[in-house]
Structure 1
Amino acid sequence: MIDQTDTKLLAALQQNAHLTAQELGEHLNLSASQAGRRRQRLEAEGYILGYAARLDPNKLGLAVQGFVQVQLASHGPEQSRTFARLIETRPEITSAWTMTGEADYLLRVYCQDLHELNTLLHEILLSHQIVARVHSQIVMAQLKRDAPLPT
C-alpha cells in the first residue's frame, strides 16, 4: 500500500524524473535519505516502471502521428502471438492495445510522412496473413500530451 507521501512523491517524479533525493525531500518535507528510500521502495515494488526521456517527434522528422485499428481474420492464441511479434518488430508502432468492440487492436504510430504510413498500412499490416481490416486515423493536432497518471 502507498500513503499520501508516496502519492506526492510519484506525482513529483512524473513531472520531473530528474529530481534528486534532496529535492524530493524538500518537496515532501522529508530528509533526503527518507525520500530516497521511499523512491527505492516504490521502484522495487513496481510502482515506478522506469524513467525515460520524452522526445519531440517533429524534431525527429516524424511529422505524421496516427491511430490504426486492426481487425484480425481469425482469433486464437497463435494468431495473437503472431500479430504481437509483428508489432514488436515495427519501430513506427509506439503503442499497442488489445480492444473490445469491432477492432481487435489499436496501434499508435509515428511516421515521417504519408508515404511511410501508407507503406506500413498496405505492405506490412494488410499483407499480414491474419489481418482482415485496418482503419486509420491521422492526428491533425495533439491537444494534450501524454499526461502523468492521476495519483
Structure 2
Amino acid sequence: MPNHEIDDIDRKLLAALQADAHATMENLSEIVALSPSPCARRVRMLEKSGVIKAYVAVVDQVKVGLPVSAFASVKLERQREEELDRFSTAVLRWPEVVECYLMTGKMDFLLRVVVKDLDAYEMFLKQKLTRLDGVASIESSFALGQVKHAHGLPIAP
C-alpha cells in the first residue's frame, strides 16, 4: 500500500496523533468529525501504508543524564557508494548518534551526538568515529541551548 493519497481528514488525524499519540479513537473522531470506526480504519491505513512509522515516547535528554548535544560534521576521503554505505552502517550501531544526515556541501554527513559530558564525547570520537576507515575530517560544534525541537511535522489541511 505504498502511495496512500493523504486528504484533509488524514492530515487532521496525523496532526492530532503527533500532538498526542495516546489520543483515544473517540477523541480523534471528534477532532476529524468522523465516527470512531471510520476513524480507526483511516489510522490503520496510515499505519499500513507507512505514513505513520511508529509511536514513541519523547524523553527529556537532560532529565535522563544526557545534557550534551554535539553536532559532528564528517568529511570522508572519498564519496563512493561503498564508503558512504560503510559509514552509514557504522553509525547505525552507535547509540550516541541520534540523528545522521547525508549532506550536500563541504561535509558528507552531519551527526547529532547525545552524551552525558565532554569526556563522553571525546571517548565517542576516539573509540568510534576516528577509528572508522575513510574519515578524512571531523568538525564538532556543541549546542549551548535548545531554542526549538519539534517532534511533529508541519502537517496542515
Same fold? TM cut 0.5: yes
Matches within 5 A, 1:12-27: 12-27=16-31
Partner of 1:74: 78
Partner of 1:85: 89
Identify which range, 116-125 or 136-145, moves more after superposition: 116-125
Matches within 5 A, 1:103-114: 103-114=107-118
Q: RMSD of aligned C-alpha atoms? A: 1.1
For normalisation by structure 1, the TM-score amounts to 0.95
Provide the rounded CA distance (Å) in 1 between the counterparts of 2:52 and 2:131: 38
Partner of 1:3: 7
Provide the rounded CA distance (Å) in 1 between the counterparts of 2:151 and 2:60: 15
Provide the rounded CA distance (Å) in 2 between the counterparts of 1:66 and 1:146: 18
**Paired residue secondary structure (2:128):** helix
Provide the rounded CA distance (Å) in 1 between the counterparts of 2:47 and 2:132: 39
CA drift of 1:9 comes to 0.6
Q: Structure 1 residue runs of 4+, over 2 Å off?
A: none
CA drift of 1:146 comes to 2.4
CA drift of 1:79 comes to 1.1
Partner of 1:94: 98
CA drift of 1:85 comes to 1.8
Provide the rounded CA distance (Å) in 2 between the counterparts of 1:12 and 1:95: 24
Partner of 1:120: 124
Partner of 1:54: 58
CA drift of 1:60 comes to 1.2
For normalisation by structure 2, the TM-score amounts to 0.92
Partner of 2:32: 28
**Paired residue secondary structure (1:126):** helix
Preserved CA contact (<8 Å) 1:121 1:134: no
**Paired residue secondary structure (2:70):** strand
1:130 to 131, 134, 140: 134
Provide the rounded CA distance (Å) in 2 between the counterparts of 1:128 and 1:29: 53
Deviations 1:37-96 (A, max 9, x none): 111111111111111110111111102111110000122122122111211111000110
CA drift of 1:127 comes to 2.5
